[in-house]
Structure 1
Amino acid sequence: MRRLAPAFYLLPLCALPLTGHAQEQTEDSPQALSELTIVGAAESPTGPVQGYKAERSSSATRTDTPLHETPQSVSVVSREALDDLSATRLQQALDQAGGVGRGNNFGGQGLTSYTVRGFTSSEYFRNGFPMNRGYPSAPDAATLERVEVLRGPAATLYGRSDPGGTFNVVTKQPLGERKTTLGSQFTDQGLRRGTLDTTGPVDEDGRLAYRLNLIAEGGDSFRDDVEHERYEVAPVLSWQATDATLITFEADIIRSNAPLDRGRTNYLTQRAEASRSTNAWEKGTTNLLHNDNESYQLRFEHQLNDAWTLAGGFQYLDGSLKGNAVEANGVQADGVTLGRNFNYRKLEWTDRDLQLNLTGRFDTFGLGHTLITGIEVEDYDYQSIIQRSPGSVSAYPVNLVDPVLGQPRPALTRTPTHDHETLKTWAAFVQDQIALTERFKVLGGVRLERFEHDYDNFVTGGQSWSNADNAVTPRLGVSYDLTPELALYASASKSFKPNTGAARLGGGFDPEEGKAYEVGMKWAALDGRLSVDTAIFHTVKENVLTLDPVDPNFNVAAGEVRSRGFEVNVTGDLTPNWRILGGYAFTDAEVTKDNTLARGTRLTNIPRNAVNLLNVYEFHDGVLRGLGLGANLKYVGEREGQKTAVSDYTMDSYTVTDLLSFYKVDEHLRLNLDVRNVFNKGYDESSWNAYSYPGEPRTVQAGFTYTF
């Protein structure tokens, strides 16, 4: 495997003596059009959060709305929280949003799959544009300003998605003063990482500004012979063309080389379980995938007058996943010999998305309105070919407990996957937030979406299909302020998501349809320093694919699943020194209709109980000034790993504790030393079919950032 030059990680250290001093700046901006102007301390719905507790968000309504008035459960994970965690991955941000769990990571390739409110999803958004098309690597945590998790359906504003929820990542934007941060992180498991974040104006009057994030990392992991390297370049250029018009160009280019690491197998006939470090999937170029992703956004915002704003943009995604891998065929009769297949894949995708939104604030008959209406057009194209060696349990064998790697590659004898898929959508939506009184507010919206889905199967005997349908996804919510600090809300909404595959009699399937109901409370406690949000929810998803009772080689869209539960989330800057972020979720998710699974079967990867709490205290005075200490606790209950008619396993509950520390030497230099999984708890973090992926053992991470 190609190695990163060791000198790269030392580059930030070499730069330290050359740096000058710049005046300390405030990153907050008061309006959506003012990324380049830094004034006051008002929070922008898309800008930095001071501390942990955000006051405003635009993700849940696509308008600048206080979270207190949003009739939906929303969690915001701020940049400061990510810094306190020394986070390097998007998933570490999602871990801090109560009730959000980890799903399939596609063998360590960075696929962002997650669970929320009982459902597994891979749909998410970046600055309001859809991102998870194909098999993209998730954006690095270093590029993120805030991560906003929306619980419940978001189809009215964002289109096809799962009913449990989704999230929107808001990226770092240019600032009005020059600022550069160099950083590096190391772990005792072998990770080496260097980062650069630089921003400032280009011209004298500050109308043109830039931001550039560079990330490079690589090295070993706790998994045997599992090494990786990853590079990311994320430039942003903002132009305040006029006082009323802001144009932003943003790119994100990621190059990643990593093996396909499926983790551990869980077959019913297995007699032994591999350790969390054991790799049965080969090494070197026999198991190495190249994942290349590029995304480009051109966004604009134009203030027509004091009341109306026109905004939108265009996004282009291009990606590929190519290379060799090894996967399981099954376990032999002795229970410890694993049959495997060597495979080659070439997956390629593009996606084009165009959005145009009109937002207005006005009064009619004494009622205040915040109206947004928009259109969206998306064109997705995906093609793939996967070739494999023989699929018997006797083929390409290895002892799953003590594997001997480096066997000769078997011949590729079959092509089970060779296809081309296109999905085109056209959508229009309208939403109105009406202030009936100062305390009583109503939100209503509806989205009309047309999609055309075509699938060409080039495998001999494979079926091709086409499907087209229309979806109507309404949304209704109300909120009422009992006091200025306490608000009650209720909402009802729908979702839809196209199904894939061909029916026995030809053609595609009806899309999945979700219905969700939610009631909750939002309380600004302790004079507003602590936000306490609670919610009770009930969600049903219909048209889930299940086996065709006439021919089990096909599916029918006749299944149904249901999830209901209770959540409480807390976020607070309790004192200037003490900040917390946490949540508890009880989720009862089960099958209610299926042709194979029994009613009441629990859904895969969903715990009944989950708890997380990040607790950090930073000293601002005395001899300990600049020192921060914290703990991050995560509990995940027992989960079904896989539930089918012929396979079944359960992942045990677990509790993981991380200890965090940092020291701000001065206004420029920050050091961190963290210990994750301090008690070295063994656990599986997620599953996919017969595979489960083990969580990391005790890991020590150290690093620094230097800002000038």
Structure 2
Amino acid sequence: MMKNIIIFLTIIALSVTSSYAQNGGVRGVIKSENSQVIPYVTVIIKELNKGTISNDFGEYELKKLKPGVHTLEVSSIGFDVIYKKITIEKGEITTVNFILKESKIMLQEVEIIGRKAKTYKNSISFAATKTATQLKDIPQAVSYVTKEIFADQQAYHINDVVKNISGVNQFSYYDDFSMRGFRSGNTYINGLRAVDLFGPQPLLVNIERLEVLKGPASAMFGNANPGGTMNRVTKKPLAEDRKAVSFTAGSFNTFRTALDFTGAMNESKTLLYRLNIGYENSDSFRNLQENKSYVIAPSISFLPTDKTRINFDLVIQNFNGKLDRGQPIYGATAGTSLNSKGNTPISFAIGATNDYHKSDANYFTLSLNHKFSDKLSFNTSFMRFVNQEDLFEHRTSNKYALDAAGEPIPTLMGMRISARQNKKIAENVNNYFVYKLKTENVSHKILLGLDYMKRVTPIGGSGIWTSGSSAYLKKDGTVARYEPANIDDFILDTNGNPVPNIPHFDLENPQYRLAYPNDYILGGYSQPEEKYSSIGYYIQDQITWGKLQVLLGGRYDKFTDYANYNTKNEKAFEYAKFIPRVGVVYSATDHVNVYGTYTESFEPQQTRTVGGLSNGPFDPVQANMVEVGVKASFFNNKLEANLAAYSILQENELVTDPTDDTRMLQLGETSSKGVELDVVGRVNANFSMIANYAFNISKFETTPADSDFKKGEMRPNAPKHQGGVFAKYKFTGKILNGISLNAGTNFVSERNSADGSALKFPSYVISDIGATYEVDKFVLRLTVNNVFDKVHWVGGYSYHRMFPGAPKNYLLSVGYTF
């Protein structure tokens, strides 16, 4: 029996030995370019359909491989895929090590995995062409500000960072900007349209970067502003563990905190998470103003296979404060400078002590990228955005008080009440296929897609108000517009002047008080149900032929707007247009690309501007642009620059009739021509910078006879010159190791107001300085903004509503990473 067992075991051993002798294997170590081992890398032999995953030490091994020539495929999230031919010998284990390069464009057409870089520079845009495209290869100017710049400038709101972008400046305190001379329009998040908040400024804690696609972008987004489209890109999960918390205190009783955690949730790193939380509690340099805001933003990415990627974002935002409508100013009505002594101080704000503005802005997005093959992929994104608002405010009537003769009293401001509660819901879905085709000399990236958007204001909203035209009390208990000829019908004060329904605000001796709706004679309204929607069909081909790249695109957009929605008087207004886009990029050298583009914009007028007016509806706003430019990189691609020259022509813009606020006027043509320069990146390992300059002539070419604007006048809040620079130097010597110093300055030239050239906002230059100290895992930052305490005006509308910039202030923060 024992003899038989020995014979059997001998046969088994010989069989195994023979098997190993007939076959071979491969093993090795996988590292990154900085010599760090990379775990959980997928290694596959394509011909044999056999594979493995590297261990915690980056080691892999495949056994029992048939001898011969095979192809090894090595892939990992965030790294370029490597294909390598190897020869397997009989009875031998071949050693093959790999060094993976970090991927410039990961295997995604929608952004599923986050940006790993920690520098000022960003190389990719997903929104400009709807596919991951190198910025240097996009035939249109794209400016951006990354979270690393947010951190060094201690920026917490969009208004804090637009100074870093050429051709963009504040129009007011709201989510409201001037881009190449045109007022901004829709808000976009990850390329999807959100509800326009307008009032509160969202916190930046969950934002990876702010992008501005300059000029018309209707070929990509449908109805879009001709000056540019601002896109907020949210932070996405990373496969590596990163955790950071920070606490900030500063001027105006400012307290802030932020948390950013990300990493893998399983060993295979197929389930990733990111959690961003931010909180702010601050006052302002302006009386009465305060802000309490928080944001909670979890994000999950699921990577079940190397062909399918899914991301889910949830963002919960709450704002609780006051809506700062700007301030009126006295003295300037006589033509004096806004900065003259004796004018209204910039700390001055109008309102009542118990005014408030509360808003919830919550949204979720779901994105999927699936690769059917190396040539064909499908991408889809969905977003639902809900904004709920509760507002009660005392605001200006945009008119001064009247005396008995009907003449304005420039030291007393007319007032009105505005209160509302409503909800707005926006839903977007964007679907497209990408097909990559390559012939001997020419490659194509063809995109074919459809998107749908709708925005609804559901029934149930309501408000109370007092109109500026019904501002004075009559003896019969009603209110009406004051007319000197009928003075006997009105209640008069001790000075013989008409008594207002809402007490005037004394600009020389301001008095703040508690005030309630039952103190006044008010009107009320029920918010009607509203809806508008758009559907777009688009096609695009990115063609590469040697050094030449051509972008050909077109979109058919159909926009439907409803007046008296869901009532028996419902009426649909439909607008449709085909929107072309043509661009060319030529690689003059390895580091210099020149480009040119032609594109258009299309903005139908919505029912909130055509419905209820005595002279609507109106033709859509349309524009076209020609742009040429140069994109270059320096210092081994660490620093990049974009120089652009453009010409935009727009027609059919709407403005309020100055003689009747129930009517609108449609302007003729307005133009914008200019040159812009953006530079961002690193000069060396120690010196980082971002700089910009814009020269812009944005003016009215033709205007109606009864408009406040005259032919040849500059558009409101459109500076002729605007720019700035911010730079940081990090010391690495023994004595100053860990210390960084930064400084920045930005300037804006004189601008017209909505009153035209009758009121101009003065030019200004603002300077900031800062210092950072990094020790172990702690980071200490000190920033002093407006270090020379310059009085300046960031934007405004008229003498009654202007927006001063903040005086000198400081921020001190401490952060910890683990």
Query: TM-score under structure 1 normalisation?
Result: 0.89
- Partners in 1 of 2:739 and 2:531 — Cα distance? 53
CA contact (8 A) 2:195 2:387 kept: no
CA contact (8 A) 2:80 2:102 kept: no
- Partners in 1 of 2:614 and 2:418 — Cα distance? 31
Q: Secondary structure at the match of 2:373?
A: coil
Instruction: Tell me the percent identity.
Output: 26
Which residue number in structure 2 is paired with residue 67 of structure 1? Answer: 135
Structure 1 residue 241: Cα displacement: 2.1
> Is 1:571 aligned to residue 680 of structure 2?
yes
Q: Which of 453, 460, 463 is the equivalent residue of 1:386?
A: 463
Question: Cα–Cα, structure 1 residues 53 and 550, in superposed 2: closer, same or farther, change >3 Å?
Answer: closer
Q: Which moved more, 1:441-450 or 1:266-275?
A: 266-275
Q: Which of 113, 129, 137 is the equivalent residue of 2:192?
A: 129
Which residue number in structure 2 is paired with residue 356 of structure 1? Answer: 431
Q: Which of 216, 219, 222 is the equivalent residue of 1:159?
A: 222
Structure 1 residue 417: Cα displacement: 7.9
Deviations 1:572-593 (A, max 9, x none): 3001000110111011001112
Structure 1 residue 414: Cα displacement: 1.9
Deviations 1:192-224 (A, max 9, x none): 111111122222322112111111111321112
Q: Secondary structure at the match of 2:701?
A: strand
CA contact (8 A) 2:716 2:753 kept: yes
CA contact (8 A) 1:562 1:591 kept: yes
Query: 1:200-279 maps to which residues of 2 (within 5 A)?
Result: 200-266=263-329, 270=333, 273-279=343-349
Q: Which moved more, 1:224-233 or 1:557-566?
A: 557-566
Structure 1 residue 554: Cα displacement: 2.7
Question: Cα–Cα, structure 1 residues 112 and 546, in superposed 2: closer, same or farther, change >3 Å?
Answer: closer
Q: Which moved more, 1:567-576 or 1:62-71?
A: 62-71
**Which letter does structure 2 place at the counterpart of 1:145?**
E
Deviations 1:542-587 (A, max 9, x none): 1112578998853354522111011111113001000110111011
- Partners in 2 of 1:36 and 1:365 — Cα distance? 27
Which residue number in structure 1 is paired with residue 802 of structure 2? Answer: 692
Q: Which of 553, 567, 575 is the equivalent residue of 1:445?
A: 553
Q: Which of 575, 582, 605 is the equivalent residue of 2:717?
A: 605
Question: Cα–Cα, structure 1 residues 638 and 550, in superposed 2: closer, same or farther, change >3 Å?
Answer: closer
> Is 1:302 aligned to residue 335 of structure 2?
no
Q: Which moved more, 1:539-548 or 1:611-620?
A: 539-548
Structure 1 runs (4+) deviating above 4 angstroms are 35-40, 134-138, 266-272, 503-507, 546-553
CA RMSD of aligned residues (A): 2.9
Structure 1 residue 170: Cα displacement: 1.6
Which residue number in structure 1 is paired with residue 543 of structure 2? Answer: 434
Deviations 1:646-681 (A, max 9, x none): x94111000100102111112x21110000000011
> Is 1:523 aligned to residue 632 of structure 2?
yes
- Partners in 2 of 1:25 and 1:290 — Cα distance? 50
Which residue number in structure 2 is paired with residue 413 of structure 1? Answer: 522
Q: Secondary structure at the match of 2:734?
A: coil
Which residue number in structure 2 is paired with residue 18 of structure 1? Answer: none
**Which letter does structure 2 place at the counterpart of 1:355?**
N
> Is 1:591 aligned to residue 700 of structure 2?
yes
**Which letter does structure 1 place at the counterpart of 2:158?**
L
Q: Which moved more, 1:295-304 or 1:145-154?
A: 145-154
**Which letter does structure 1 place at the counterpart of 2:400?**
V
Q: Which of 390, 395, 400 is the equivalent residue of 1:331?
A: 400
Larger radius of gyration: 2
- Partners in 1 of 2:212 and 2:218 — Cα distance? 14
**Which letter does structure 1 place at the counterpart of 2:216?**
P
Q: Secondary structure at the match of 1:264?
A: coil
Structure 1 residue 337: Cα displacement: 1.2
- Partners in 1 of 2:696 and 2:639 — Cα distance? 24
- Partners in 1 of 2:760 and 2:425 — Cα distance? 37
Structure 1 residue 32: Cα displacement: 13
Deviations 1:3-27 (A, max 9, x none): xxxxxxxxxxxxxxxxxxxxx999x
CA contact (8 A) 2:422 2:527 kept: no
Deviations 1:451-498 (A, max 9, x none): 110133999xxx986411102111001111222222211100001112
Deviations 1:373-394 (A, max 9, x none): 2110111012653322463273
> Is 1:179 aligned to residue 242 of structure 2?
yes
Number of aligned residues: 668
CA contact (8 A) 1:260 1:326 kept: no
Larger RCO (CA within 8 A; separation ≥ 6): 1
**Which letter does structure 1 place at the counterpart of 2:585?**
S
Structure 1 residue 338: Cα displacement: 1.4
- Partners in 2 of 1:178 and 1:673 — Cα distance? 27
CA contact (8 A) 2:331 2:343 kept: no
Which residue number in structure 2 is paired with residue 10 of structure 1? Answer: none
Which residue number in structure 2 is paired with residue 342 of structure 1? Answer: 417
Query: 1:87-126 maps to which residues of 2 (within 5 A)?
Result: 87-105=155-173, 111-126=174-189
Which residue number in structure 1 is paired with residue 532 of structure 2? Answer: 423
CA contact (8 A) 1:478 1:491 kept: yes
Structure 1 residue 300: Cα displacement: 0.7
Which residue number in structure 2 is paired with residue 533 of structure 1? Answer: 642
CA contact (8 A) 2:464 2:525 kept: yes
Structure 1 residue runs without a partner (length 5+): 1-23, 106-110
> Is 1:42 aligned to residue 132 of structure 2?
no
Q: Which of 503, 508, 527 is the equivalent residue of 1:396?
A: 503
Deviations 1:623-664 (A, max 9, x none): 1111111111110011112226xx941110001001021111
Structure 1 residue 37: Cα displacement: 11
Deviations 1:389-444 (A, max 9, x none): 463273311212331101533325124784332111111111111112x2111111
Query: 1:487-566 maps to which residues of 2 (within 5 A)?
Result: 487-500=593-606, 501-502=609-610, 508-546=617-655, 553-566=662-675
> Is 1:682 aligned to residue 795 of structure 2?
no
Q: Which moved more, 1:202-211 or 1:629-638?
A: 202-211
Question: Cα–Cα, structure 1 residues 364 and 377, in superposed 2: closer, same or farther, change >3 Å?
Answer: same
CA contact (8 A) 1:546 1:594 kept: no
Which residue number in structure 2 is paired with residue 287 of structure 1? Answer: 355
- Partners in 2 of 1:92 and 1:548 — Cα distance? 34
Query: TM-score under structure 2 normalisation?
Result: 0.77
> Is 1:480 aligned to residue 586 of structure 2?
yes
- Partners in 1 of 2:137 and 2:307 — Cα distance? 27
**Which letter does structure 2 place at the counterpart of 1:205?**
S
Question: Cα–Cα, structure 1 residues 544 and 581, in superposed 2: closer, same or farther, change >3 Å?
Answer: same
Which residue number in structure 1 is paired with residue 742 of structure 2? Answer: 630
Which residue number in structure 1 is paired with residue 209 of structure 2? Answer: 146
- Partners in 2 of 1:426 and 1:164 — Cα distance? 22
Structure 1 residue 95: Cα displacement: 2.1
> Is 1:659 aligned to residue 728 of structure 2?
no
Which residue number in structure 2 is paired with residue 471 of structure 1? Answer: 577
> Is 1:85 aligned to residue 162 of structure 2?
no
CA contact (8 A) 1:605 1:686 kept: yes
